[in-house]
Amino acid sequence: QVQLVESGGGLVQPGGSLRLSCAASGRAFSSYAMGWFRQAPGKEREFAAAISWTGGSTSNADSVKGRFTISRDNAKNKVLLQMNSLKPEDTAVYYCNGPVVAGRSGDYWGQGTQVTVSS
């Protein structure tokens, strides 16, 4: 069992930055590839970024490449998402998830954190 709790969302102007944090509990966390997914109003949940269990490999959706960076600290049981150059279309609820396999979500979800990009 893994419990996930996201934090760090909020309101930011276009071009701004936010850093999301996912705190995980459960022994299996450090052996899981983890990811961030997002769901905008009226749209399906979509993949944003993922990171291998070692942190040595990452992947990003085309829509966030060059702007979002995923990282993890297994000693602190955390997964981070640094979001730069934010756009209004990044507005969504962001969810931490694992284990992620080939970009597909796993069984464990956090409650989500709202990110709103607006002037």
Specify the pLDDT at position 105: 92
Taking Cα atoms as reference points, which of 112, 108, 98, 115 lies closest to residue 51?
A: 98
Specify the pLDDT at position 91: 98
Q: Are 77 and 24 in contact (CB under 8 A)?
A: yes
Q: Cβ–Cβ contacts within 10 Å for residue 49, how many?
A: 25
Taking Cα atoms as reference points, which of 71, 74, 73, 97 lies closest to residue 27?
A: 74
* Dihedral pair phi/psi, residue 41, rounded to 5°: -55, 130
Q: Is the pLDDT of residue 15 over 90?
A: yes
Q: Which residue has the tokens 């052996």?
A: 31
How much is the mean pLDDT over the chain? 95
Taking only the tens place, the pLDDT of each residue in 24-54 is 998 788 889 999 999 999 999 999 999 999 9
Taking only the tens place, the pLDDT of each residue in 88-98 is 999 999 999 99
